């Protein structure tokens, strides 16, 4: 086994991070959609030939990154490493094997060095369209939600799978944009592979496994040491989500025992009849992230960070839905998982958690025909406020836990028929506390069409606000208005008349600590800066 001294290891680690960041940069620069270019709704990472994630790019969401790490075992089960040849590229959007819904497509590129597969570069991106329903929670089965691509070869020996390309073209609304992004993912993998080969040649590495074992082993030991430092015990918490037709309970039981931590979601609601269900891959992805940011935030995120965790959810529950359950809006529930983990572990480490926040990003999709008659389908994301923290206020209009960025109004208007009339923070939407919750925001827009269009707003916390911790007040609830009227179900697809004003008011985060302990100067600053009404 190759031994790495500390200096060499640090240099190799920094180079490896540089390699995956180049992969992500190439992907984003060549992407056809603002979802990837502007919002950063993607992941990128490098894996050894065993399928262990060694490093990830600095961009991306936990739901993509951590589920992609789990997806590699499915890729290798379908195509064992020794059956692959140079020029092969694998693809799938199977929700149960990767990121949880059909709109997320994972592409995996085997990397060959000296005629031997030495690594894989993979990426997961939110595609502009996948057919079926527009991105919404309306469907009753996954079959209605679009085209499911099983694990197969997008390229075989460097040659495109034209039959698959034809099927994709025939089933999506925006084929050039969709296939353009697939090729951007392939390009990212190619760039990553070229840089990895250069790195391996420079350091005389014929295989990646010795470096991977050193990095993964150190990560696992650090994670286990951090868990061992926690007070042993059982910690429980539950959160209520709006759901689609009825409220949904997410219940977590965290048990710290030795150097391992188990999370059990028994007691959570059964699977929904609508598309807010979560698959186990996605549940594991956001649970591992929720634990890691509290227990050991500075440890690298790779295979080693997952090994000390045991995550279970009853089959058929909202967090372990089985086919053919609809799953398009799985993030609406899945993004609550780090918050329920924080609520449980707040009992063990109160100085490391933040209060409940708005949680899920609000995905807003508008589809129809523009004034000239051409079809369009456009998605953008927006965020509410995060919860107050032990030593600071929550962040306003900031996505947590997803990390996805909001799309600037100028970009939205340039790429779609939408006209954004207002975009501003919502005063008084952050919960009071020694440290107040972050503010939500309001976005108002019209769609330039001559006929009605369809709007799907994947929202939550319109009924159940983000709760404060340790005496903090809850944040403000969200709201959807169409020409000033709230629809009966804000998650349902809405038929919007031409020129109607669609207004989304995103929720704020809960406060942290007793509001009476807030510094008077901070209150005055809140009023002056518009966080509180005068």
Note the pLDDT tens digit of each residue in 200-238: 999 999 999 999 999 999 999 999 999 999 999 999 999
Would you say residue 352 has pLDDT above 60? Answer: yes
Strand partners, 160: 155
pLDDT at 35 (0 to 100):
84
How many angstroms separate the Cα of 257 from the Cα of each of 87, 232, 261, 286, 505?
A: 46, 6, 6, 21, 42
pLDDT at 250 (0 to 100):
98
Last residue in a domain, options 167, 187, 218:
218
pLDDT at 34 (0 to 100):
86
Kind plus residue range of the DSSP H or E element containing 170: helix 162-171
Q: In this structure, is residue 389 part of a structural domain?
A: yes
Would you say residue 171 has pLDDT above 80? Answer: yes
Percentage of the residues of the chain whose pLDDT score is greater than 90: 88
Helix, strand, coil: what percent of the chain each, to 5?
30, 25, 45
pLDDT at 386 (0 to 100):
98
Residue 214 and residue 363 in one domain = no
Residue 365 and residue 511 in one domain = yes
Would you say residue 95 has pLDDT above 90? Answer: yes
Q: Is 164 exposed, middle or buried (0-12, 13-18, 19+ CB in 10 A)?
A: middle
pLDDT at 39 (0 to 100):
83
Q: In this structure, is residue 245 part of a structural domain?
A: no
pLDDT at 96 (0 to 100):
97
* Start-end of H helices in 302-375: 303-306, 330-334, 337-345
pLDDT at 528 (0 to 100):
86
Would you say residue 534 has pLDDT above 80? Answer: no
Q: In this structure, is residue 331 part of a structural domain?
A: no
Instruction: Please tell me the pTM assigned to this model.
Output: 0.95
Determine the average pLDDT of the residues in 451-469. 96
Last residue in a domain, options 218, 233, 257:
218
As for how many domains the chain has, the answer is 2
Would you say residue 66 has pLDDT above 70? Answer: yes
Q: In this structure, is residue 521 part of a structural domain?
A: yes
Would you say residue 365 has pLDDT above 70? Answer: yes
| Domain limits for position 119 | 6-218
Half-sphere CA count of 158, side-chain side, radius 13 A: 2
Q: In this structure, is residue 363 part of a structural domain?
A: yes
Would you say residue 193 has pLDDT above 80? Answer: yes
Q: What phi and psi values does residue 275 have, to the nearest 5 degrees?
A: -80, 40
Last residue in a domain, options 218, 248, 267:
218
pLDDT at 142 (0 to 100):
97
Q: In this structure, is residue 292 part of a structural domain?
A: no
pLDDT at 2 (0 to 100):
63
Q: What's the whole-number average pLDDT of the chain?
A: 95
């Amino acid at each position: 086994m190759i031994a790495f001294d500390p200096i060499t290891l640090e240099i190799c680690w920094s180079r490896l991070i540089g390699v995956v960041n180049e992969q992500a940069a190439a992907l984003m620069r060549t992407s056809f959609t603002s979802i990837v270019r502007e919002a950063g709704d993607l992941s990128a990472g490098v894996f050894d030939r065993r399928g262990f994630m060694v490093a990830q790019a600095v961009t991306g969401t936990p739901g993509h990154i951590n589920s992609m790490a789990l997806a590699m075992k499915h890729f290798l089960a379908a195509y064992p490493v020794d059956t692959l040849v140079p020029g092969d590229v694998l693809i799938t959007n199977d929700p149960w094997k990767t990121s949880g819904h059909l709109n997320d497509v994972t592409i995996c590129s085997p990397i060959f060095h000296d005629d031997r597969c030495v690594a894989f570069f993979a990426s997961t991106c939110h595609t502009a369209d996948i057919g079926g329903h527009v991105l919404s929670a309306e469907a009753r089965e996954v079959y209605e939600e679009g085209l499911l691509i099983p694990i197969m070869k997008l390229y075989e020996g460097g040659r495109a799978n034209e039959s698959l390309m034809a099927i994709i073209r025939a089933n999506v609304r925006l084929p050039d944009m969709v296939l353009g992004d697939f090729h951007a993912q392939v390009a990212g993998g190619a760039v990553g592979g070229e840089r990895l080969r250069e790195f391996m040649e420079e350091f005389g590495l014929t295989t990646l496994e010795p470096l991977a074992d050193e990095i993964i082993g150190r990560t696992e030991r650090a994670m286990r040491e951090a868990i061992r430092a926690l007070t042993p015990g059982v910690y429980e918490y539950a959160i209520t989500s709006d759901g689609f037709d009825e409220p949904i309970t997410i219940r977590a039981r965290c048990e710290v025992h030795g150097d391992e931590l188990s999370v059990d979601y028994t007691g959570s609601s059964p699977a929904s009849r609508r598309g807010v269900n979560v698959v186990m891959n996605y549940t594991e992805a956001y649970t591992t992230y929720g634990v890691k940011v509290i227990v050991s935030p500075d440890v690298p995120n790779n295979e080693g960070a997952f090994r000390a965790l045991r995550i279970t959810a009853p089959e058929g529950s909202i967090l372990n839905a089985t086919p053919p359950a609809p799953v398009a809006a799985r993030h609406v529930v899945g993004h609550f998982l780090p918050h329920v983990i924080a609520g449980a572990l707040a009992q063990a480490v109160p100085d490391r958690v933040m209060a409940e926040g708005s949680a899920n990003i609000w995905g807003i999709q508008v589809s129809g025909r523009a004034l000239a008659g051409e079809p369009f389908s456009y998605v953008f994301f927006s965020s509410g406020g995060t919860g107050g923290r032990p030593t600071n206020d929550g962040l306003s209009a900031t996505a947590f836990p997803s990390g996805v960025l909001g799309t600037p109004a100028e970009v939205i208007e340039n790429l779609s028929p939408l006209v954004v009339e207002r975009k501003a923070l919502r005063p008084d939407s952050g919960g009071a506390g020694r440290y107040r919750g972050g503010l939500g925001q309001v976005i108002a827009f019209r769609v330039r069409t001559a006929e009605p269009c369809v709007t799907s707003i994947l929202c939550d916390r319109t009924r159940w606000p983000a709760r404060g911790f340790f005496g903090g007040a809850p944040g403000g609830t969200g709201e959807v208005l169409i020409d000033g009227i709230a629809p009966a179900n804000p998650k349902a697809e809405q038929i919007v008349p031409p020129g109607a004003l669609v207004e989304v008011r995103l929720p704020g985060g809960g406060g942290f600590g007793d509001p009476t302990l807030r510094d008077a100067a901070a209150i005055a600053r809140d009023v002056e800066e518009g966080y509180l009404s005068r």
